Amino acid sequence: MTTTTYTVKGMTCGHCVSSVKEEVGEVPGVTGVEVDLPTGLVTVRSEEPLDDAAVAAAVEEAGYAVVSG
pLDDT-derived band at 69 (thresholds 50, 70, 90) equals: low
- The CA distances from residue 4 to 9, 13, 45, 52, in Å, are 17, 22, 7, 9
Q: Is the pLDDT reported for residue 2 higher than 80?
A: yes
Tell me the average pLDDT across 4-25.
Answer: 96
When the pLDDT of each residue in the chain is averaged and rounded to a whole number, the result is: 95
Per-residue pLDDT, 68:
74
CATH architecture for residues 2-67: 2-Layer Sandwich (3.30)
Mean pLDDT of the region 28-55: 96
Cα–Cα distance, 25 to 64 (Å, whole number): 15
Rounded Cα gap, residues 20 and 6, in angstroms: 12
- Delimit the domains of the chain by residue range: 2-67
